[in-house]
């Protein structure tokens, strides 16, 4: 399987379905089941942590491992701030974060947390062999 690394708390917000679009500056043609990895370094911006409900504060502090999985179903192109702002409830980024000429939204469905499994991450998609740890979709 392949994994995608996100900083915390974004990784936890994604696997718990409070966020369903991950924004990147690069597109992907990848589709299907993807493991969600919490990067070693968290996002230290207070506005990121303001999205975390009390019940998810502990899992949002887990770093450096796989924390969930989801189906990557689409790669959306955001060419205008208005379109980016319209999906704010799905990606949770302030519209001021938009940078032309384009940002990409990786749309996920069927998200679910998994037991934490420590492993190194990578900036793009990276292969992980967790066959004995990850239940089939």
Among 77-81, 84-88, 121-125, the least confident range: 121-125
- Cα–Cα dist 84/63, whole Å: 28
15, 56, 74, 79 from 37: Cα distances, Å: 10, 16, 19, 27
* Token pair for 94: 């302030």
Confidence label for 110 from pLDDT (cuts 50, 70 and 90): very high
Cis-peptide into 132, omega within 30 deg = no
DSSP 123: S
| pLDDT tens, residue by residue, 32-42 | 999 999 999 99
What's the pLDDT score for residue 117? 96
Averaged pLDDT for residues 79-105: 97
In a domain, 67, yes or no: yes
Domains in the chain, number: 1
In a domain, 136, yes or no: no
Q: Is the pLDDT of residue 132 over 80?
A: no
What's the pLDDT score for residue 129? 83
What's the pLDDT score for residue 89? 98
In a domain, 23, yes or no: yes
* Token pair for 62: 């887990």
In a domain, 131, yes or no: no
What burial letters (b/e) apply to 98-136, b meaning 16+ CB within 10 Å? beeeebbbbbbeebebbeeeebebeeebeebeeeeebee
Q: Is the pLDDT of residue 135 over 60?
A: no
Q: By residue range, what is the domain housing residue 57? A: 2-122
Burial class (CB in 10 A: 0-12, 13-18, 19+), 9: buried
CATH of the domain at 94: 2.30.130.30
In a domain, 80, yes or no: yes
In a domain, 16, yes or no: yes
């Amino acid at each position: 399987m392949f994994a995608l690394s996100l900083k915390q708390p974004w990784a936890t917000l994604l696997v718990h379905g409070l966020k369903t679009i991950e924004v990147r500056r690069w597109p992907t043609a990848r589709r299907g089941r993807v493991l969600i990895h919490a990067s070693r370094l968290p996002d230290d911006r207070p506005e990121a942590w303001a999205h975390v409900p009390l019940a998810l504060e502990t899992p949002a502090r887990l770093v450096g491992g796989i924390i969930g999985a989801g189906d990557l179903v689409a790669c959306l192109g955001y060419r205008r701030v208005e379109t980016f702002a319209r999906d704010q409830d799905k990606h949770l980024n302030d519209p001021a974060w938009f940078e032309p000429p384009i940002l990409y939204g990786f749309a996920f469905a069927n998200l679910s947390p998994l037991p934490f499994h420590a492993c190194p991450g990578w900036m793009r998609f990276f292969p992980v062999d967790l066959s004995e740890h990850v239940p089939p979709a």
